Amino acid sequence: PITPGELLCLGSSLAFSGLFYYLYRKKARAVARIQEAPKLQVDDDLPVLVSAADGRCLPYVALEGIVLPAKAALTSHYHEGLQGVIQKLLLKEHRLIWNSLARTW
């Protein structure tokens, strides 16, 4: 005899397993798209290629080429001769709305 509590536990376990499998498959598809991304060179043809794409956007692309720093390159303290640059960051602030029920922003 199976009790209602055991059925509840079994049902919730199956529901969570299905949810986590769905999320896993969704992330696996995104990783596969990134790994299959075309490799493009940074040259004079790149702006033409971007302007010809749908919405003027290339979803997943690996760019290869020489990167020049805006001011000075960063040097590593741990590996001599290793240099790097920082990618330009875009910060977007979302508007805060007061939630009077929870009394939070």
Residue 70 counted as domain residue: yes
**How many other β-carbons are positioned within 10 Å of the β-carbon of residue 3?**
8
Which residues fall within 8 angstroms of residue 50, CB to CB, at 6 or more apart? 56, 57, 58
Q: What is the pLDDT of residue 90?
A: 66
Residues of the chain with pLDDT under 70: 88-91, 94
Q: Which domain holds residue 30?
A: 4-84
100 lies in a domain? no
Q: Is residue 69 in a domain?
A: yes
Give domain status of residue 94, yes or no: no
pTM: 0.47
pLDDT at 89: 63
pLDDT score for 12: 97
